Amino acid sequence: MTHSPALADTVEPSVQSRRERGEDTRARLIDAAEAAFAEHGFHGIGVAALARACGLGNAGLLHHFPSKARLYAAVLERVAAEADGLLVAALDAAGADPGDRLTAMIGVQARWTADRPAAARLVLRELLDNVDRVGRARHLPLKPYVTRMCDEISAGQAAGLVAPGPAVVPLTLLLGAFAYGLAVRPTFAQMRPEDAVLAEDAGFVAAIAAAARTALFSGGCAHDPDPRRNPAG
């Protein structure tokens, strides 16, 4: 039996439409789950609360993601891919100079932290709260991102721009400064209303980025005479 081309034309768009709707639903669920996980952490929210946050019942959520862990993994995968993609683009634009690449790395991380505070909080929670899960994990979504930044710091060390030592140490200080700054800014703004830098996330994170570059990525020098190297720009 041969199939009518006209019938095939009517069936295929329907299948494609269902697939597109499914992908759209999945993306919306990941959006809602990102906000929920960023606020509560992996352990701080259950399936029922996640389903409510996503506007579904338990069965509807589990239809798309069979477990809370699978949903969390999808959220983390998307966040990690987004952050790493922005980093790669910034490094490509910076060229080969190690100092320019460090500046680009700090700048893109600062902008991403300010533009995507929920995602930045999610990354912080993942790094803090996953002690019981990381040993069993078969895949670590943030590993390429962390490795790429460590490689840039190592290149900066080889160029004399960063103090010697394990690259993960200045990276920890850098990421910790951004995450802590995002967390404390609202409270500090109430305590120090005279400090204009505390008025918004973007300005405060940019100031932290500038201070971090001077403190961590200038070979131990207190002042970098090259005015081009401004991560807040």
**Domains of the chain by residue range:** 1-66, 77-233
Per-residue pLDDT tens over the stretch 136-146? 767 888 999 99
SS3 breakdown of the chain: % helix, strand, coil, rounded to 5? Answer: 75, 0, 25
Per-residue pLDDT tens over the stretch 19-39? 667 678 888 899 999 999 999
Per-residue pLDDT tens over the stretch 101-159? 999 999 999 999 999 999 998 888 887 776 666 667 678 889 999 999 999 999 999 99
* Residue 90 · residue 107 · CB < 8 Å: yes
Say which DSSP state 197 is in: G
Secondary structure of 100-116 as H, E, C letters: HHHHHHHHHHHHHHHHC
pLDDT of res. 11? 47
pLDDT of res. 77? 94
pLDDT of res. 224? 44
Average pLDDT over residues 5-20: 57
Question: Would the CA dihedral through 135, 136, 138, 141 be positive or negative?
Answer: negative
138-163 burial, b if ≥16 CB within 10 A, otherwise e?
eeebbeebbeebbebbebbbeeebbe
| 1-66 placed in CATH 1.10.10 | yes
| pLDDT grade for 3, boundaries at 50, 70 and 90 | low
77-233 CATH choice from 3.40.50.970, 2.30.40.10, 1.10.357.10, 3.40.640.10: 1.10.357.10
Asked if residue 227 has pLDDT above 50, the reply is no
Tell me the C-alpha distance between 121 and 159, whole Å.
32
pLDDT of res. 222? 37
Specify the higher pLDDT residue, 62 or 223.
62
* Residue 75 · residue 126 · CB < 8 Å: no
Asked if residue 67 has pLDDT above 70, the reply is yes
pLDDT of res. 41? 87
Tell me the C-alpha distance between 213 and 124, whole Å.
20
pLDDT of res. 102? 96
Average pLDDT, the chain: 85
